[in-house]
A and B are shown apart, each in its own frame.
Chain A
Amino acid sequence: MKLQEIVKELGLEVRCAAHNLNKQVSGGYASDLLSDVIANSKKDNIWITLQIHQNIVAVASLKELAGVIIVNGREPEEGALKKAEEENIPIMLTKLPTFEVVGRLYKLGIPGKM
């Protein structure tokens, strides 16, 4: 499934790199610990987190993730958005909590298996 379709289905607010939504998503990973994401996420995964710090962009770029969904209506730090735009990493916002986002993604057919 493409990032674009996920944005539409979940009603996400795209905050940067909106031109880069044509990517095919390989699966999903949900975690708020950066090292855990580094260790366990896979290329082209969509990452669900409540972290808003700009290091989420470094991690997403390092692991070549498809994009980041920030949950609970949290607002990312300005530095994070600037960096994400530079690195071409789509940051998407939602008011929903992690559990709900993951559930809906799973229903759409996004796998969490390794």
Chain B
Amino acid sequence: MDLSAALNTKDSTKEDVQLAQDKEITKVQELTYELKVKDVMTTDVVTVSPKDSMNNVREILRIKRISGTPVVQDNQLVGIVSIEDLIRCLVDGEMDASVEKKMTRKLEALHADEPVIHAVRKFDRYGFGRLPVIERDQGKLVGILTKGDIIEGLFKKLQIDYHEEEIHRYRASHIFEDIVADKARLHFQYNIVGQDFNRAGESASALKKTLLRLGFHPQIVRRVAIATYEAEMNIVIFANGGQILASVDPERIEIEASDAGPGIPDIEQAMQPGFSTAPEWVQELGFGAGMGLSNIQKCADKMDLTSQVGKGTDLKATIYIKGRGNR
């Protein structure tokens, strides 16, 4: 395949097509200018010396499964020997000859700080399978580059860029970026009906859907949803209704669940996993296992519980988006 055509680079014979495409520079094109040869080259280079025999070269190419290697003397690149040179020696029965007699001396090399687009053009112009890479000042061999290295390097870079874009998107920053204000928070309120087990869980699932639509990371959303579900269940089981207020900004999600229910006499005891005061019929439905509060605590980065017997309960759970991140 013609690499420059594949990468859609400039070519004087394709001027008309290029005109239309000039306006729209593809991501891959942009990357071939942005990436340097040193970013994609192989640095662990197998080399031979001019005094080695062609028999040695054959062994090296076979063991390393490569099709050519630079010839180096005193750290300086003096030539390149490839499988084609080797075949010629085999045909002529000259496998004992030294590398310096058979290597290619007319050298094309790349500089480590050149953009990858230069390499792409050079590969197309000369049709070589590999190009040695040298340091600009000293001419020291620092790496080797094949077309495969370029493709792999582009894929890696694309993947990194894509990953960064995803993280960016998941942080929901875009919606907040669209809002012109020094500080912006979104509030969602859900009203909970007490003792209604058929509707229990609806607020948590509505909040979960909303947060996913806003683009928050699924891990974060899962933690928020579990904490909200448990808080919602507590209101349904113990209070005669209440309210869940979620407030969201790019740094944190806060959930506040409040009710005017019976209140908790001993918060420390209520926090103990397995401690439950739920009536038996509620427990038979599978609720009231005494794990709600500890589940909330596990999911939240911060939890505050205040309660007054006979007055009601107020629970605040905070989940930080950037801080502890995705567990």
Contacts and interface: CB of A to CB of B under 8 A. Distances in A.
A38 B285 contact: no
B295 A55 contact: no
Nearest to A87: B205
A34 B204 contact: no
B226 interface: yes
Interface residues of B, number: 23
Contact of B198 (A59, A62, A64, A79): A79
Given A33-B289, A62-B205, A38 B197 contact: no
Contacts, number: 60
B285 A53 contact: yes
Contacts of A49: 286
Given A38-B230, A38-B295, A39-B298, A58 B286 contact: no
B205 A55 contact: no
A56 interface: yes
A32 B288 CA distance: 11
B285 A35 contact: no
A58 B209 CA distance: 13
Interface of A: 32-36, 38-39, 49, 51, 53-56, 58-59, 61-64, 79
Given A56-B286, A62-B204, 9 more contacts: A32-B286, A33-B291, A51-B285, A51-B286, A55-B286, A59-B229, A62-B229, A64-B222, A79-B198
Interface of B: 197-198, 200-201, 204-205, 208, 222, 225-226, 229-230, 233, 285-287, 289-292, 294-295, 298
